[in-house]
Amino acid sequence: MDEKTLARFMAKVEKQAEVTSPHVDTPCWLWTGAKKAAGYGNAWNGKTVEITHRMSHRHWNGPIPAGKDVRHLCGEPSCVNPAHLTTGSRRQNMADMVRHGRSTKGERNPGSELTRADVYAIRHLWAAGMSLRQLARRFPVARGQIRRVIAGESWTHCYMPRQMPPLPVETRHVGADHGRAKISDADVVAMRWRAVAGESIAAIAVDYPVSRPTVARICRGDGWKESGGPLTRRVRVPRSDGRTAYRVEITRPTPPRCADMP
Ligand SMILES: [Zn+2]
């Protein structure tokens, strides 16, 4: 930035008096000028309109390698304090968002509401290809809530990436011809195949509106007897380090795969 651009830039920076982020030990410099929906500042750099923390990084810290993101160590998207900026891969940038989102969680009750940083991270990570199951593991809220965040049904005022993969069709209340059925025959078959593939009951249960014990019963064939699919049981295998591993044993021969696969 030349002198004139720098003066104009600094006129829109508000240096905080106190440290507000738990991840850094100096105060943030908040951008008060124009912002993009993501919370990033936006300004004229003398040649073109650029994201302000990138301008700041280039001016005080040096060039940004091609293809790299400028990451916020403080977790504040509008901060332009060069001491809070560093370069890294898109992957590291995503990991930062998860960490910043989660760390604020420690100060709140477990199972409480999502923060703005969480919502931001969830949408970014979904756009980057993370699955609902992986997101549900990383953020301590139910999968339904993550789904609503991605769909934009909640947190409507918060940043939404332009390119979002579509959500999978919900399996809830499909084929319910009696009261307790929340899952269809196809779901049951899919669960059983996943168990054969060695997925844990917990991992499978995340994707269906039934409890883990129910998934375990389904995979054992304790109920849902007409639904098809291979049945398995888990055999405990003690390990030398004292922990327990499980081996999946197929107890009912698999029917022809072509007719059976979901
Ligand atoms: Zn900062």
What's the CA-to-centroid distance between 23 and ligand 1, angstroms?
9
Cβ atoms of residues 188 and 229 within 8 Å: yes
Which CATH architecture describes the domain 94-151?
Answer: Orthogonal Bundle (1.10)
Least confident of 5-14, 97-106, 222-231: 97-106
In this structure, are residues 87 and 70 in contact, taking their beta carbons and an 8 Å threshold? Answer: yes
**Rounded distance from Cα 130 to ligand 1 centre (Å):** 27
Instruction: State both tokens at 18.
Output: 């106190």
- CA 165 from chain center: how many Å? 13
Ligand 1 centroid–CA 165 distance in Å is 31
∠ CA 122-84-155 to the nearest 5 degrees?
A: 25
13 vs 119, residue with greater confidence: 13
Q: How confident is the model at residue 254 (pLDDT cuts 50, 70, 90)?
A: low
Query: Does an H or E element contain 93, and which?
Result: helix 90-103
Query: Residue 134 contacts by C-beta under 8 Å, 6 or more apart in sequence?
Result: 125
Q: Kindly give the distance from the C-alpha atom of residue 80 to the centroid of ligand 1, in angstroms, as a whole number.
A: 7
Rounded Cα distance, 103 and 100, in Å: 5
| pLDDT tens profile 151-203 | 888 887 777 777 777 887 765 443 334 445 578 888 888 898 888 888 889 88
Q: How far apart are CA 252 and CA 198, in angstroms?
A: 16
d(CA 186, CA 239): 35
Centre a 10 Å sphere on the Cβ of residue 140 and count the other Cβ atoms it contains. 15
Distance 127 CA to ligand 1 centre (A): 25
User: Could you identify the residue written with the tokens 């064939």?
Assistant: 221
* pLDDT (average), residues 40-60: 91
pLDDT of 246 over the 60 cut: yes
- Domain positions in the chain: 3-87, 94-151, 185-260
Cβ neighbours of residue 93 closer than 8 Å, sequence gap 6 or more: 69, 71
Give the integer Cα–Cα distance in Å for 193 and 231: 8
CA of 216 to the centre of ligand 1 (A): 47
Mean pLDDT, residues 214-237 taken together: 86
- Residue 19 C-alpha to ligand 1 middle, in angstroms? 8
Q: Distance from the CA of 73 to the center of ligand 1, in angstroms?
A: 7
The pLDDT-based confidence of 247 (bands split at 50, 70, 90) is confident
